[in-house]
Amino acid sequence: MAKRNEATRGRLSREAIIVSAVSLADAEGLDAVTIRRLAQAHGVTPMAMYWHFNDKDSLLDGLAEYLIEAVKLPEPSAAPWDEQLRDILVAFLVAIRPHPAMAGLALRRILAAESGLRIAERVLDLLRQAGFAAGRAAEVGTFLICSVITLVGADPDPWPRQAGAEREQALRDKRARLESLPPASYPNVIAAAPALVVCRDEDDYFALNLDLLVQGVRGIRRE
């Protein structure tokens, strides 16, 4: 039995489990990620998983670290603080955007994992350069990270995703409903109806929101 357990441990690495868990979360959502489900995927008993993860919480911590370690933090430069701050937010966005179901996990380890601490230190340093006191820099930095996570976790398409002719008809119906509203009461909704109905370009959507975040920080800093 001991030899069999050693063989199982050799086949089943922590990294392999994390990769499987990420794929499962991407495909079916975070609730689908369980010790039992992953054990089945690897052809082992749930007990074999406990060599690498004590419980579901430790598995989620592993997924959180996977996200944070994927952030390619840009090197410090001579660029203005706000440009460097935006570059860091972009790097964070690029890392978590492919995994919307898992995005919220990043907060679990950002102040625990070494890679997360490096992100926090850089963001706080730039905010201190901008004139924020340490406490306010912590508040602003937390807001920025939480905002990027929210952007990724929230679907920028306001309507249910459908395919082909069914989707096109649904979009036409919704646009027609908005454009038939009383003009005196809803002139701006009517004018914006095409943009409100049709799925926006997601790259532009994220870029716009990052600009809003950074410009907001510029607006409230002490001169």
pLDDT above 50 for 182: yes
Q: What fold is seen in the domain 69-156+201-220?
A: Tetracycline Repressor; domain 2 (1.10.357)
pLDDT value for 134: 96
3-state helix, strand, coil in the chain (%, to 5): 70, 0, 30
**163-187 core/surface letters (b: 16 or more CB in 10 A; e: else):** eeeeeeeebeebeeebeeeeeeeee
pLDDT value for 2: 41
Whether 83 contacts 135, CB under 8 Å = no
Residue ranges covered by each domain of the chain: 2-53, 69-156+201-220, 164-197
> What average pLDDT is seen over the chain?
87
pTM: 0.83
Residues 107-145: pLDDT tens digits?
A: 888 999 999 999 999 999 999 999 999 999 999 999 999
pLDDT above 90 for 197: no
pLDDT value for 151: 92
The amino acid present at 131, given as its one-letter code, is G
pLDDT value for 4: 42
pLDDT value for 93: 96
pLDDT above 60 for 75: yes
C-alpha span between 197 and 181 (Å, rounded): 14
Closest C-alpha to 221, from 81, 110, 105:
81
Give the residue, 171 or 68, on which the prediction is more confident.
68
Length of the chain in terms of residues written: 223
Least confident of 69-83, 94-108, 189-203: 189-203
pLDDT value for 165: 82
pLDDT above 80 for 11: no
Q: State both tokens at 83.
A: 């440009």
In the chain, % of residues over pLDDT 70: 89
pLDDT value for 5: 45
Write down the CATH number for the domain with range 2-53.
1.10.10
CA angle, residues 55, 57, 63, in degrees to nearest 5:
110
pLDDT value for 19: 93
Give the residue, 63 or 12, on which the prediction is more confident.
63
**59-77 core/surface letters (b: 16 or more CB in 10 A; e: else):** bbbbbbbbbbebbebeeee
Whether 21 contacts 60, CB under 8 Å = no
Which residue is associated with the tokens 């919480």? 57
Q: 215 vs 81, 164, 211, CA distance in Å?
A: 12, 38, 6
